[in-house]
Chains A and B, each alone.
Chain A
Amino acid sequence: MKKIILVLSLICLASPAMAGKLVLKGSTTVLPIAQKATEAYMALHPDTVITLSGGGSGNGIKAIIDGTATIGNSSRFIKDKEVKQAVDQNAYPVPHRIAIDCIVPIIHKNNPVSDLSKEKLRDIYTGKITNWKDVGGPDMKIVVISRDSSSGTFDAWKELVLDGERVTPAALTQPSNGGLVTQISGTKGAIGYIALGYINTDVKVVSVDGIKGSEQTAKNGRYTISRPLFMFTAGWPEGETLDFINFILSPKGQALVKEAGSITLY
């Protein structure tokens, strides 16, 4: 009898720790933010166990619908089809805007081009325009550099600039943001794109349709190559999940958003 009481009390003691378990899944764009946030959150709440994985926005939303994750990270809003699926399964997806993603085109420092329209950018990336002289620059071949197809930045670029069209097969690819900046700073005819947080003085940022991508223009919506990043929950978050979302939205969490290279909400 004593043993049973002991076991029961142990279970009672253990249960608060058991409740503190979060599973995050989804977009690779949100991943760096989620990574920093989970690390900081677990440091504050040592009892909480958080597992974090990528897999893409679609998988993140799917995971909260079928209950395999508590939070689904997504770099896009939920689609109508997914809402219907969720409601059919009695899960009501709730979006939480946690950050803004802003992507800017960058070129070599000595390139005189300073503005490109979205159409021109699209034509460059689909391979219709191949020389800088067609967009008001010198007679020089355009070296199109893209990110690898699995990168979240690539995803956003494709959606916001290419309208879903394919990037030309002649585009060079870079596995990392750092490599991209190095390559562009050393290649005269190069053009690439990068999240705002990663630019440095070695490269030149091109404005799009006359508007330069910055924290301000992304926040007020005038710069169009930007998008909100979401964390979805099934139903209004409670307990630990609510705590976690509140943490990301707090000034401390938003500082981590900035560290991860994205733009804060406020």
Chain B
Amino acid sequence: MRRNEYLIKAFFFLTACVSVTILALIMIFLVKEGAPILSHVTLKEFLFGQYWYPTDDPVAFGIFPLIVGTVSVTLISTLVSVPLGVMTAVYIAEIATDNLAAIIKPLVELIAAIPSVVIGFFGMVVVSPFLQDTFGVPTGLNLFNASLMLAFMATPTICSVTEDAIRSVPESLKEASLALGATHLETIFKVTVPAAISGISTAIILGMSRAVGETMVVLMVAGGAAMNPHSLFDPVRPMPASIAAEMGEAAFGSEHYNALFATGVVLFLFTLGFNLFAAWIAGRYNRK
């Protein structure tokens, strides 16, 4: 009996080791393949260079427009997905009847099950012509379209994590508020939501990190122009789209190949930052 238990423990320990090792190997590989680019350009030129011409002569490996692309689609999609996700969660957790919540919740979670290529295709053939016809913009494949599609993908994440946070607010807090004469809505916005704010922050950051790393959607609908956008309807080229579009053709071991891996490292640092931040906030939340 004891031996069995020992074996099972060892098995789970090994499994845990495998995932940690794989993560470590991926990191090592990324850095190893990306670092050689620094022998062609300085770190400053790479991160803040305005021009991305990886195959031209002379070459230019400046990923600043790509970073701006990633940051801008992430921020704008957050502006859309946060109100949508948080309010849906409030509705499901606090306002909707149990029956209605039992219908809406699975439907929202179903959005997360739509493959990103389908959402990208939707953006290309439905949203893009709509934007062109309605706003008269030259191209419908732009920052706004990509942000909208990403918001669509991040909303279920934000919604379900927020809902958990709201549900874990102690009943006694709400009862106290109601007993003091506050209405239902006042209780929700002045007591329940503030009490769940750490959990909601975690939800938002998880949603954002989903948007940062998403590849297919931005490859299909962001337009792919490596420039700093001047308006909401300008095309952008976020980092994942650039990597996906160019990696297939970049000669193995070339400067371009290294530059794409280095872009991957930057992207990895972005998502790592988001996740660490989310973990930090969640940690603070648990201590309270």
> Do A and B originate from a single complex?
yes
Interface residues of A (CB under 8 A from B): 28, 54-56, 59, 140-143, 148-151, 154-155, 158, 164, 166, 169-175, 182-183, 186-190
A150 near B256 with CB under 8 A, answer: yes
The count of A-to-B residue pairs whose CB atoms sit within 8 angstroms is 81
B240 within 8 A of A: no
A190 touches B51 (CB 8 A): no
Contact partner of B138 among A143, A149, A150, A155, CB < 8 A? A143
What 1/0 mask marks residues of chain B from 7 to 20 whose CB sits below 8 Å from any chain A CB? 00000000000000
A189-B138 CB under 8 A given contacts A150-B249, A150-B256: yes
- Chain B residues closer than 8 Å to A154, beta-carbon distance: 55
The 8 Å CB contact of B128, one of A140, A151, A169, A186, is A186
The residue in chain B whose Cβ has the minimal distance to the Cβ of A54 is: B249
Asked if B225 contacts A173 (CB within 8 A), the reply is yes
Chain B residues 83-139 with CB under 8 Å of chain A are 124-125, 128-129, 132, 138-139
- With A55-B251, A186-B128, A187-B140 in contact, do A166 and B56 touch (Cβ < 8 Å)? yes
Q: How far is the CB of A156 from chain B (nearest CB, A)?
A: 13
Give Cα distance in the complex from A151 to B256, angstroms: 13
Residues on the A chain within 8 Å of B256, using CB: 150
The 8 Å CB contact of A56, one of B129, B226, B244, B251, is B251
> What residue of chain B has the Cβ atom nearest to residue A127's Cβ?
B227
Q: Which residues of A contact B223 (CB under 8 A)?
A: 172-173
| The 6 residue pairs across chains A and B that have the minimum distance between CB atoms | A150-B249, A173-B224, A169-B227, A141-B138, A149-B55, A172-B223
A132 to chain B, nearest CB (A): 11
Known: A169-B52, A175-B224. 4 other contacts (CB 8 A): A55-B251, A154-B55, A166-B56, A187-B132
Cβ-defined partner of A148 (8 Å) among B65, B140, B227, B245: B245
Set of chain A residues within 8 Å of B219, measured between Cβ atoms: 175
Contacts of A188 in B (CB 8 A): 132
B220-231 vs A, CB cutoff 8 Å, 1 = contact: the mask equals 000111110000
What's the nearest-Cβ distance from chain A to residue B7, in Å? 46
User: Bound complex: CA of A64 vs CA of B54, how far in Å?
Assistant: 25
Task: Report yes or no: B225 in contact with A164, Cβ–Cβ below 8 A.
Answer: no
Closest to A176 in B: B245
Chain A residues with CB below 8 A from B139, complex form: 143, 172, 187, 189-190
Alpha-carbon distance A44/B263, docked complex (angstroms): 44
Indicate whether B38 reaches chain A with its CB closer than 8 angstroms.
no
- In the bound complex, do residue B224 and residue A169 qualify as a contact, i.e. CB atoms below 8 Å apart? no
Are A172 and B246 CB-contacts (below 8 A) given A143-B139, A149-B55, A166-B53? no
